[in-house]
Amino acid sequence: MPLIATRYCLRCKDARPVRKVKEPHWRASKRLCVVCNGPTRRIKGRRKKDVMPAPLYEHKKLEQEADDLWRRIIWAKAVGGRCARCGNVRPLQAAHCFKRKHKQGGLRWEIANGSPICSGCHMHTEGDREANEAFFRSYMGDAEYERLPALKTMGGKVDMKLVILGLKVELAKSVDQTARPVVY
């Protein structure tokens, strides 16, 4: 489902889903932007059935925010801007050990579940299970490699706001927050 909305936020200057707010003495509800609570106006010709529901949109936004924080923390783990696998100084990517589709237990946003590696190493490990396991076992240690998949069996919904708060704490602890790859 696309990230589109029937209304335009005047503050975000973009299409946004809205939440309806109604006070008893108001004639009609106000429709406020779910991101910034700002005023919105209708976009002509957009049908309600074509848009992502506001709660889903809000959840996707939180996932994106967590992804961005996670990536920056993983980049900050790079020593001297070097690929953690081949040791070359190259533009780095944030690679998942256990694939990012695994959101259960917050595995996708676990700091231990990522490593800063170059695009060549990333492609190689993504396409080769054994190479992936060999690299990540040596990178994080066997104990961590065996702990991480257990998160997938955790029941219950992941609290994205809690995940984001935890990532912010980790990012603040990162030594080199200015480390940015050229390509991502």
| Stretch of residues binding Zn ion (CB under 5 A), selected from 1-9, 19-27, 70-78, 124-132 | 1-9
Count of residues of this chain found to bind Zn ion when the rule CB under 5 A is applied: 12
For the record, the structure tokens of 125 come out as 């490990």
Region near Zn ion per CB under 5 A, out of 34-42, 54-62, 154-162, 164-172: 34-42
Binding segment toward Zn ion, per CB under 5 A, in 28-36, 103-111, 152-160, 164-172: 28-36
Select the residue interacting with Zn ion from 21, 86, 89, 123 (CB under 5 A): 86
Residue 96: phi and psi, rounded to 5, are -85, 140
Which x/- pattern, by CB under 5 A, does the window 89-128 give for Zn ion?
-----------------------------x--x-------
Return residues touching Zn ion (CB under 5 A): 9, 11-12, 33, 35-36, 38, 83, 85-86, 118, 121
